[in-house]
Amino acid sequence: MFKQPTLDIFDSNEEALIESAYTKKVSVPVYVPQYQKPSVYELFDHMKSMQMIKRINESSVSAEDKKFLIYAAQRHIIFNFSKIADYYAHSNAEMQDLMEKSALVIVDFDKAIENGFATLNNELSNAYLDEQNG
């Protein structure tokens, strides 16, 4: 019987990954990178796309069709953004710059998000209080 291929990252680790996505019990929504730099090969899983590309290359479709299908197969590469953020933190300035330009991490420049989030919470708390007391 045909068995659907599984994506290991979903089936074994999904819950754990979601649970560990952000540091717990902090009041700012930023990810804290790990101390250890991961291997670059931990940042993505391209097994499925490689399988597709192999099949495309072995097929008899035209060269143009192959080119298109190979581009499309990249959509199946799984990127692990926790590991990517860890990798970013331990990379040099040039690599970091390229990663930012590719939006592989979102850098909270001038603490805009951190401070904005704190202000949002405070002001909503005050508005809530005003309404409850009003």
The alpha carbon of 133 is separated from its chain's Cα centroid by a whole number of angstroms, namely: 43
Query: Applying CB under 8 A, which part among 34-42, 60-68, 116-124 lies near other proteins?
Result: 116-124
Measured between alpha carbons, how far is 12 from 16 in angstroms, rounded to an integer? Answer: 9
The residue among 40 and 127 lying less far from other proteins, judged by its C-beta, is: 127
The residue among 1 and 93 lying less far from other proteins, judged by its C-beta, is: 93
Q: Which 5-44 residues touch other proteins, going by CB under 8 A?
A: 7, 9-10, 14, 17-18, 21-33
The residue among 60 and 130 lying less far from other proteins, judged by its C-beta, is: 130
The token pair that represents 119 in the structure block:
């202000």
The alpha carbon of 97 is separated from its chain's Cα centroid by a whole number of angstroms, namely: 17
Scan for tokens 């909270």, then name that residue: 108
The residue among 63 and 94 lying less far from other proteins, judged by its C-beta, is: 94
Cβ contacts of 9 within 8 Å, gap of 6 or more = 17, 45, 78, 80
Query: Applying CB under 8 A, which part among 34-42, 54-62, 63-71, 118-126 lies near other proteins?
Result: 118-126
| CA dihedral for 80, 83, 89, 93, sign (positive or negative) | negative
Where do contacts with other proteins occur on this chain (CB under 8 A)?
7, 9-10, 14, 17-18, 21-33, 75-82, 84-85, 88-89, 91-94, 96-97, 100-117, 119-121, 123-125, 127-132, 134
